[in-house]
Amino acid sequence: MKRNLSQSRRPVLKSFGLMVLVCSLMGSPGISGVAFAANSSPSPSPSPSVSTESMQPSSTSASPTSSVTTPLASIPATPTPSPSTSQTMAEAIGKGAEMGQRSARVTASSSTTAVKQLSAESLGSEGTWMPTFGVKGLDVSGYQTNVDWQQQWNMGSRFAYVKASEGNYFTNDLFSSQYQGARSVGMIRGAYHFAIPNWSSGADQARYFVQNGGGWSPDGYTMPPVLDFEFNPYEGRTINGFYFGNTCYNMSAGQLASWVQDFGNTVRALTGRLPVIYTNTSWWNQCLGNPSGFGDYPLWVAAYPSSATDYPGALPSASWSAYSIWQFSSTGPFAGDSNVWNGDYPSLQRFAGAALPTGSFDDLSVTGSGTQFALRARGWSVDLANAAVSNQTHVYVTGPDGSTTGYPWVANTSRPDVDQALGYGPSHGFDGSIPISRSGTYSACAYSIGTYGNTPLGCKSVTATGIGVPTGSFDSLTQIRAVDKVTLQLKGWAVDQANPGNSTYADTYVTAPDGTTTGYRMTANTPRPDVDAATGLGSNHGFDYQIPVSTPGAYKACTYAIGTNANIPLGCQTLNVGANPSPIGSYDALSLTLAPNSATLQVRGWTLDPTQPGTSNPVSVYIASKDGVAITNPTPTSLTANLQRPDVNSALGTIGDHGFQATLPISSTGNYSVCTRATGVAPVSNGPTLLGCKSISVTTTPATTGFLDSAAVQISSGQAAVVTQGWTLDPALPAISIPVHVYITFPDGSTKGYPFTANLKRADVNSALQTTGDHGYSTSVPISTRGQYRVCSYGVAVSIFSAYNAQLGCRTLTY
């Protein structure tokens, strides 16, 4: 640790300081009794519980959740030691403690022999390797005085934590510059507090932390607050009369656990977020006894493997089975400590944004037969703060007698439709059955349980009546082909035997050739007198449904009859949809066009879709490589082949407009390879078709040419001027009048340039060079000082590939 702390041992001051501290804490606002007393957050019951008064789920925290950060002005005053004690302590500890009290960097810089001897925790082999997964980040404190944030960003860091405070006596004087510096380069950033739990209560230090930079807002780029809870940085030391205790702060495991809950509940009440807990597994297990009940807090684990690995080692297993952040090195590659977020960048953004859980209560139905009946609740639920893990769904059912019972379920069933639509992963569905024994109306309300709050998914009611399951038949899967569309046609019938007087639904799930599955709801209400004749369940139960398709290949449709009490599979069928012909065409030409101050590649050709020859189809043009180097993700120029090409129509005996001409701007010389690709407009077209690639070499154009015919000092009406005459042109664009720049060096040695345009007629030049355009110039620049002048003129190219701007000549004049 880089600090110079007082090593004094003054028993009298120590005793007096402890008495003052205890009295201070006991008398602080918001604290009564022992500073370490705090209630743990209740967890949902693992088994159903009966309640007749409340429909609300059990909370995951004892503190209320808020999505809005409490303004600082509304935060209660923070209890602190007396002003003189606070000032003296802040001065005595210098820059304070920093993360990783047993890391190689901190122990190497520590002046305390006892800390240096803890080599078991200080692995000198920490280096600049990084895990192969996740999003990398860093943490800094007052010891990192000059962080080059742009460099850290360029090295791959995407988030940063900055030390804000310690105890309730110290704040990082670099916090603002470090916090804003990280944000200025685009990092997601947050603040951390170094806990000294035997100094004051958790609530006390939480308020102090939030008042001094530890707040949070749902702006998408602020990480949740962090509690740094680890080895005592001042172990065995007395500073300004206060004895800091052993590595566990002279506190019991129960006191430390209560202190964390006190801190966490207060931070959540003030900011709307539970803090992240930063700790070391060995210290946590040693000092807190590896307690349970902290699983709602995200874990930031410090572990420094001796060689490159993706495994941080053991975690505090009673509360966590996975970590959110891993501090894997204190010696690089980043400034301060190096960390990795255990997920991808979108998940880090969601973590910063504190997304609440979401989901859908899709269906409540009655299932069963004979004497066995059950309510079936279906839907999906995901905790957006931790979407990779299946979260809980709590369902509260009120029966016909008015009693309410709660059921906690894990939403871990497969919902490929949810994953396809929202990208949260497939294992977020819930599908539970609740036994019932009487008819009547049942109401159910579902809640998605999240890390930072619970979201109601709505309530549904169902009446348990007769017994019966749906039935039906998936008769056929065929295709209907037309010039402008191809559709799948599904035919069959479905009837709910528990309610045959009404038409039901038949849901079909179609898996396309690319493996994606899409669900469709069909109403079974078309006349089927044959079904009525065979079953006596009525005739309006048929379905005849069409689904447009655009890709050739095998389609598999699985259909279900939807009923009041159950959904019954009616079978699956597979159909192969053949492809329409691919587009045809020709890549005719590739050329270079120069214009003043610009250059473009011109691409010409034609294409058509044989299935719909009267419709102009799309074509894309792109640069595939330059100077032999392939362009990995080319940006194509997309256009429609809608120019008239009567030669194509005549040759092919077709109709419509099918020509295309594309323009690709370029800005440098080199060897270009340009490709064209045509896409069909007909459904299930087999394509796109590569029409070909062509190469072209773009070289430097000649320098400008011309001449300074004359230069003189002329006096008119008492005004002297330097007058030049001559001509200049750009050989690459000879018809264009180009700029001419005149530079005059004055008698005092200063030089100034004057721009003109060579646009005067010079028939002699055009005749001699066999060119066109106006290329002469005549310039005049007023002067007033007598002495010697040096005048030079230059022809300025308009071709962006010109070799250089040629000097047309210089003259020395005397005025």
User: What pLDDT is stored for residue 467 in this prediction?
Assistant: 58
Question: Is residue 588 located within the same domain as residue 570?
Answer: no
Assign residue 258 a region (left: φ > 0; alpha: ψ between -120 and 50; beta: otherwise).
alpha
Q: What are phi and psi of 695, to 5 degrees?
A: -115, 150
* Beta-sheet pairing, 325-329 with 299-302: parallel
Which of these three, 435, 464, 493, is where a domain ends? 464
Looking at the fold, whether 141 and 21 belong to one and the same domain comes out as: yes
Residues 159, 275 within the same domain: yes
Domain assignment present for residue 77? The answer is: no
Q: Global pTM?
A: 0.40
- Write the CATH number for 531: 2.60.40.10
As given in the structure block, the two tokens for residue 698 are 């773009």
Contact 774, 737 (CB under 8 A): yes
Whether residue 496 lies in the annotated active site: no
Q: What angle do CA 103, 107, 113 make, to 5 degrees?
A: 145
- Supply angle C-alpha 495, 500, 505, rounded to 5: 40
Where does a domain end: 680, 698, 716? Answer: 698
CB-based burial label for 74 (10 Å; 0-12, 13-18, 19+): exposed
- Per the residue annotation, which of 121, 166, 230, 475 is the catalytic one? 230
337 lies in some domain: yes
* Annotated catalytic residue within 204, 228, 262, 496: 228
Predicted local distance difference test score (pLDDT) of residue 104: 76
pLDDT of amino acid 633: 83
Separation CA 798–CA 753 (nearest Å) = 18
Indicate if 428 and 514 belong to the same structural domain.
Answer: no
User: Using an 8 Å Cβ cutoff, are 98 and 141 in contact?
Assistant: yes
Q: Do residues 436 and 332 both lie within one domain?
A: no
- One domain, residues 522 and 457: no
Regarding whether 505 and 532 lie in a shared domain, the answer is yes
Confidence at residue 470, expressed as pLDDT on a 0 to 100 scale = 85
DSSP for 609-654 reads: -TTSTTS--EEEEEEEEETTEE-SS--PEEEE--B--HHHHHHHT-
Side-by-side strand order, sheet with 540-549 = 470-481, 486-496, 540-549, 526-527
Give the pLDDT confidence score for residue 497 in this predicted structure: 75
Residue ranges in the chain modelled with pLDDT below 50? 1-87, 112-125
Q: Active site residue: 121, 126, 139, 362, which one?
A: 139
* CATH code for the domain of 777: 2.60.40.2550
Active site residue 139: yes
Q: How far is CA 563 from CA 468, 499, 505, 724, 793, in A?
A: 9, 8, 8, 96, 91
The helix (H) or strand (E) run that includes residue 388 is none
Together in a domain, 224 and 179: yes
Q: What pLDDT, on a 0 to 100 scale, did the predictor assign at position 451? A: 75
Residues 6+ apart with CB under 8 A from 482: none
Q: Which domain holds residue 447?
A: 358-464
Domain count, the chain: 5
Is residue 46 situated within a structural domain? no
pLDDT (0 to 100) of residue 455: 83
**HSE (side-chain half, CA atoms, 13 Å) at 633:** 0
In this structure, the answer to whether residues 289 and 368 fall within a common structural domain is no
The pLDDT of residue 350 is: 81
Does residue 725 share a domain with residue 676? no
Q: Output the pLDDT for position 74.
A: 32
CATH number at residue 327: 3.20.20.80
Give the pLDDT score at 109: 61
* Per-residue model confidence (pLDDT) at position 258: 98
Is the same domain home to 499 and 552?
Answer: yes
Of 577, 608, 632, the residue at which a domain comes to its end is 577
Same domain, 483 and 535: yes
State yes or no: is 262 an active-site residue: no
